[in-house]
Amino acid sequence: MKKEEAAKELLKQTKEKEETLHEMLNQPLSFIQKALVDGLYTFYFDVLGKKPKIDEDAARQARETFKNYFPEKVEEMLAQLLDDPEGYHQKVVAFEKICPPVFVDFPTDPSYYRVIISDPSRQLQEVLTRLALFSNFPSSNGKYSALDVGTGYGRLAMVIEDTLRSLYAGGKGYRVFGMDISEGNIEAAKKLNRETGSEITFFTRDMNQIPFPSDSLNLVNTTDASYLNFRHRRPFYIAEIARVLRPDGGVCCITNPNELTTLKEYNYVMMRTNYRTYLNPVNIMKATVLGKCSIYIDALSKARPDWALTTTADMTDTLTRVLKADIIDITNWPKKGGPSIYSGFTFAVNDSTKRQIDRYTKFRERRKAAEQWFDM
């Protein structure tokens, strides 16, 4: 079967799965399911007293200082970065000297993470990644290069590789990379790589410094990653994605919690769509390992402006007004049964995008040797 025919068939199957997942995500929350979540919250926070400890003085200083350095919207921050990359970089350094960033380790050990990736919400992320890949396949130059940013233990990188392997029918016309700031996550990814016979290249790097030449990648995917990036650094991450994507159809898929996300609403979605999994006490305990990180992040996003979630409208305006990118799809979910707490953006860069980021691109390319970029 030719690549184009294989892609057409896989696309059909993927869209059918997307419809099924939306139906599952739109299920109403039953009284019993809500009572279970509410009961767990009362027990964990009120009875056990497990409320996250936030440095209130540091948070207050961050709130007061942030507005003196940065505008409110990521759209405006990105415009400043593209206009004066070095100047914006210096502002970030100055702010973080006064208000040191609060880092949160987010482990993605497969033995724990497999519990929550059975959730329809997580499966929908995989579907959106596949749809992004199909939107610009095959590559105009015959070879397809893809990068998963904030890869964790490599879940979405492996989804990309599996899809490309099916499309190329054993051929080697593609390369897949996965990067994450956590050495522990990358070690877990490499271990799984060896166990499964995968050929993904995994490496450790900050998402704000993507070590690839400009115009070199067909696809960049980033799932549940950018919200872990400090809000004033997100313009670097967005500009980096635009820089490394090819101007002749390079596509990015970003999925993230949005401004409507709260930890309780997220748990309502998990409970109503994957009820049987979370009735198992062992699975609840495993999910709690990740839940501790989420509880802390949830508190930080409310207390500190440098941790605030990016709104769906702000991200849309950032992509269209500043980057001049072409929006392929914006998906919010769940569509019914509660607030839409997740957003997925798929967009393509173009010649106008490249002109917008020209000054930033030159700023980054001066650091190519020092950062040891990949030779593509």
Of 370, 344, 132, nearest to 252 by C-alpha is: 132
Strand (E) or helix (H) holding 223: strand 219-223
Mean pLDDT of 192-201: 94
Segment 87-125, tens digit of pLDDT: 999 999 999 999 999 998 776 666 666 667 778 999 999
Instruction: Give the C-alpha separation, 174 to 155, whole Å.
Output: 18
> Has this prediction a pTM greater than 0.85?
yes
Question: What b/e string do you get for 45-74 counting C-beta neighbours within 10 Å, with b at 16 or more?
Answer: eeeeeeeeeeeeeebeebeebbeebbeebb
Domains of the chain plus CATH, in order, are: 3-364 (3.40.50.150)
Q: Which of 105-109, 153-157, 191-195, 251-255 has the lowest mean pLDDT?
A: 105-109
Phi, psi of 332 (to 5 degrees): -115, 140
* Least confident span in 29-38, 218-227, 270-279, 343-352: 270-279
Q: Which residue has the tokens 């799932």?
A: 223
